[in-house]
């Protein structure tokens, strides 16, 4: 049991060594893009939701 766990962790260490990690600047720019798109999508959904709520209120009143 413990042999399999240590073998698994050893293989994980080997595979993690093969990973190509992004540079700091690439990581910053990718993070900024994700945040900007997330905020834009949230604003878009808010606008659509407010519009549809107004229509439903108009129909139901």
User: 1 vs 6, which has greater pLDDT?
Assistant: 6
Predicted confidence at residue 11, as pLDDT, reads: 95
| Domain boundaries of the chain, sorted by first residue | 22-61
For the stretch 8-53, pLDDT in tens is 999 999 999 999 999 999 999 999 999 999 999 999 999 999 999 9
30 CB-near residues (< 8 Å, 6+ apart): 22
Would you state the structure tokens that stand for residue 12, as one six-digit string?
């994980």
Distance between CA atoms of 3 and 47, rounded to whole angstroms?
Answer: 57
Within 10 angstroms of residue 54's Cβ, the number of other Cβ atoms is: 10
pTM exceeds 0.95 for this model: no
22 CB-near residues (< 8 Å, 6+ apart): 30
Predicted confidence at residue 23, as pLDDT, reads: 95
């Amino acid at each position: 049991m413990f042999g399999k766990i240590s073998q698994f962790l050893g293989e994980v260490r080997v595979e993690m060594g093969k990973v190509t990690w992004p540079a700091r600047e690439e990581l910053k720019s990718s993070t900024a893009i994700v945040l900007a798109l997330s905020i834009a999508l949230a604003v878009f959904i808010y606008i659509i939701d407010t519009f549809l709520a107004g229509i439903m209120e108009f129909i139901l009143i």
